[in-house]
Chains A and B, each alone.
Chain A
Amino acid sequence: SQELEQSPQSLIVQEGKNLTINCTSSKTLYGLYWYKQKYGEGLIFLMMLQKGGEEKSHEKITAKLDEKKQQSSLHITASQPSHAGIYLCGADKQGGSEKLVFGKGTKLTVNP
C-alpha cells in the first residue's frame, strides 16, 4: 500500500496562475520534505517541515504542514515555466531524517 498519497498526479496551468499540490499520510509524520525533479536530474530540495502547523516560504513557493502532521500542501503563487517539473513529497516516518518514503509525485506543466 502507498504510504504517501499525492494529488493531483498531474497538473497543467497557465503561466501566472496559482496552484496547490497535496500530500497526505494515514500516519503521523516526523519530517515532511518537498523535492522538485526535472527530467534527467536529481531531486532538488525545496523545504522541510517538522512541526504541526508549520509553514515555510521560499520565493513563490509556500509549504504547510497541518496540526496533526498528516497532511502537507505546496502552494505556488503566480506560476512560471521554470516551476515545471515533478514535485515529490517525502517523509521521515521514524524520526531522525533517515530513510524517506515518497509519494508518486505530481507532474506540473506551466504553459506560457
Chain B
Amino acid sequence: EAGVTQFPSHSVIEKGQTVTLRCDPISGHDNLYWYRRVMGKEIKFLLHFVKESKQDESGMPNNRFLAERTGGTYSTLKVQPAELEDSGVYFCASSQLRQWDEQFFGPGTRLTVL
C-alpha cells in the first residue's frame, strides 16, 4: 500500500513568488492534515480536512496560505506571495475517519524562500 506522498520534495523560490505544494493521502483516508516545521521550532499544525471540508484551519498563519482538497482526494497548499518566514518543511498526514487512529506522515516538502 502506498504511503502519503508529497510533491515536490524541495522547492526554492524567491520572495514574492507563488508556490503550490501537493499531498496525496493514503487511499481511503478521509482525514488530511497539513503541518509545518520552521527551523529550530517544533512541528506545528496548519489545518485539517475531513474529506473535502476544512474541519479546522486555526493553524494557518495568514491569508497568504490557501489549502484546498477538491473531491476529497489530494490536497494542495498554495503560498502566495511567499515571504522569507515561510521557509520550512511542510508535512502532510492522513488518517482514517476513526478516533485515535494514527496519523501517517508524508516525507515533507522543504520550502526555501530567498
Interface set of A (CB-CB < 8 Å, partner B): 2, 4, 31, 33, 35, 40-45, 48, 50, 88, 90, 96-105
CB distance from B72 to the nearest CB of A (A): 17
Chain A hits for B31, CB < 8 A:
98
Q: Are B56 and A45 in contact (CB under 8 A)?
A: no
Interface set of B (CB-CB < 8 Å, partner A): 3-4, 9, 31, 33, 35, 41-45, 48, 55-56, 58-59, 91, 93, 95, 98-108
What 8 A-B pairs have minimum CB-CB distances, sorted nearest first?
A43-B105, A42-B105, A99-B45, A102-B43, A42-B107, A45-B102, A104-B42, A102-B42
Complex CA–CA separation, A29 to B59 (angstroms) = 19
Chain A hits for B33, CB < 8 A:
99-100
Q: Are B42 and A105 in contact (CB under 8 A)?
A: yes
Known A40-B107, A41-B107; contact A96-B91, beta-carbon cutoff 8 A: no
* 20 A-B interface contacts by CB (under 8 A): A31-B100, A33-B102, A41-B107, A42-B104, A42-B106, A42-B107, A45-B102, A45-B104, A45-B105, A88-B43, A96-B100, A97-B98, A97-B100, A97-B102, A98-B48, A100-B45, A101-B44, A102-B42, A102-B44, A104-B41
Complex CA–CA separation, A71 to B112 (angstroms) = 35
CB distance from A53 to the nearest CB of B (A): 17
Q: Are A97 and B108 in contact (CB under 8 A)?
A: no
Chain A hits for B42, CB < 8 A:
2, 4, 101-105
Complex CA–CA separation, A48 to B98 (angstroms) = 14
Complex CA–CA separation, A45 to B104 (angstroms) = 7
Q: Are A98 and B55 in contact (CB under 8 A)?
A: yes
Complex CA–CA separation, A40 to B9 (angstroms) = 9
Chain B hits for A31, CB < 8 A:
100
Complex CA–CA separation, A97 to B91 (angstroms) = 17
Complex CA–CA separation, A41 to B6 (angstroms) = 11
CB distance from A47 to the nearest CB of B (A): 9
